[in-house]
């Protein structure tokens, strides 16, 4: 997650963080994602930006992670599902963090 902005909602200030642009890039465009390529012998299966194969993380269960509506995905992936039109304002993942309030338990 990368810092995006500081904002306010109902009088409460917060910091917004969102996934960095290359978080779902293929190992060719983000070498830190090489562990998500389950076919190192056939790396052409791992050359699409926009999805990560998490199957090895969960006992081999088929699990693919992407941004909503395949936002920032390779053209091939985005066009493989009819009817999607990713828009940042509607399909961006983010986390808002309130940096000040302390809650006493």
Q: Which pLDDT belongs to residue 43?
A: 61
Q: Which pLDDT belongs to residue 16?
A: 94
Tell whether pTM > 0.85. no
Q: Which pLDDT belongs to residue 39?
A: 66
CB 92 within 8 A of CB 23: no
Q: How many residues does the chain have?
A: 105
Report d(CA 85, CA 69) in Å as an integer: 7
Block means of pLDDT (10 residues each) for the chain, 105 residues, are 93 92 84 75 71 73 81 80 79 87 66
Report d(CA 87, CA 16) in Å as an integer: 18
């Amino acid at each position: 997650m990368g810092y995006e902005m500081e904002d306010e909602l109902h009088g409460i200030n917060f910091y917004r963080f969102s996934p960095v642009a290359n978080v779902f890039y293929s190992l060719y465009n983000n070498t830190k994602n090489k562990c998500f390529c389950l076919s190192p012998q056939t790396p052409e299966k791992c050359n699409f930006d926009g999805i990560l194969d998490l199957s090895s993380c969960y006992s081999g269960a088929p699990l693919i992670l992407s941004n909503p509506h395949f936002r920032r995905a390779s053209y091939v992936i985005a066009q493989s599902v009819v009817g999607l039109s990713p828009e940042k304002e509607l399909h961006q993942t983010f986390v808002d963090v309130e940096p000040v309030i302390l809650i006493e338990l």
